[in-house]
Amino acid sequence: MTAISWLPHRFRCLDRQMQHPSQPHARRTVAALCRRSVLVATAGFLALALIAAVYLLAPARSGQRAESGTSRGIDTFANSAPFDAGLDAAIDAIIDDNSQYQVGVALMTAVGGDLHQYGVEEPFEAASTAKILTAAAYYHLVEEGSASLDDPLGAFTSEFQIQAMVQDSNNESWSLLMDAVGLSELSEYAASIDITYDPEVNTLSTAHMAHMLAELFEGRLLDQEHTEQLLSYMQDTNYEHLIPAAVPDGVTVFHKYGLLDDELHDAAILSMSAGSFVLVVFTKGADLSDVPERTVLIQDITKAVSAALA
């Protein structure tokens, strides 16, 4: 099968993304200064003094541990439920106000917290958000030793093609990488990470997309070098209008945008001082004419999530 020939015409689209500066992680150190007076008194009085000293120092140690725990951010939220009823209601209201579109939202902590889904849970045509899966599948071949990032692929190396596919959403690069991985092998790789994916129809649910991004961000999908490289390509890209445009300062965004006929999607990792979260918003409208309205819809959901979590 020749490069790009397998892709239906409806898959030939471009995606873009953006970068935000990394946020500082505050670290506080508690210093305790203790002075002890030497009193010449009875043994009973000295014992009482020692008991009092132990009692006074205990809260200071406890406070020190508490401050250290909160500075970890992502671990603090790992076993809690940052997605409360207020956020659920806000997302549901935005979806209800845009009932002329099909909207699916998935939200979860990047450390593997409970998945929260809103609106449509069935698979959408994934458009170019699925390029992250193709990139991960190729990196997996590299880690197995059956491919190299220096391998020629088209006119350039495979490493160049991965960057072009993710950062510039280049469809010729996508086709070359699909051919290099193999369509059946791509489906098998997806199944190995608990994702149902058929590249011939290119459909993904918001839940599966969120799961893949969480696995990537936590280093459970690829080794450290390839994880960092792929995440770097998901920044400073050629489209900035959706999730990245709606987050406040101090939030780092890694994402992949998709636009195809009546589909408009964004799938992102939001890294902030409160923790790291995955937000996926897939939408289906009439055609490209309502993209501006659906852009606002995605931004409104992002603002609701950011306000609740940050």
pLDDT in tens, 144-179: 999 999 999 999 999 999 999 999 999 999 999 999
Can you list the domains of the chain with their CATH numbers?
Answer: 18-25+73-309 (3.40.710.10)
Q: What pLDDT score was predicted for residue 9?
A: 37
> pLDDT tens, 8-58?
433 444 443 333 333 333 323 333 323 333 333 333 443 334 333 333 333
Tokens of 102: 């099909």
Task: Give buried/exposed letters for 120-144 (b at 16+ CB in 10 A, else e).
Answer: beebbbbbbbbbbbbbbbbbbbbee
pTM value surpassing 0.85: no
Residue 181, CB half-sphere, CA atoms under 13 Å: how many? 29
- The residues near 283 (Cβ < 8 Å, ≥ 6 apart) are 101, 102, 103, 104, 263, 264, 265, 294, 297, 298
Task: Give buried/exposed letters for 96-105 (b at 16+ CB in 10 A, else e).
Answer: eebeebbbbb
Q: Which amino acid belongs to residue 150?
A: D
The CA distance from 272 to 74, in Å, is 9
169 close to 257: Cβ distance less than 8 angstroms: yes
160 close to 182: Cβ distance less than 8 angstroms: no
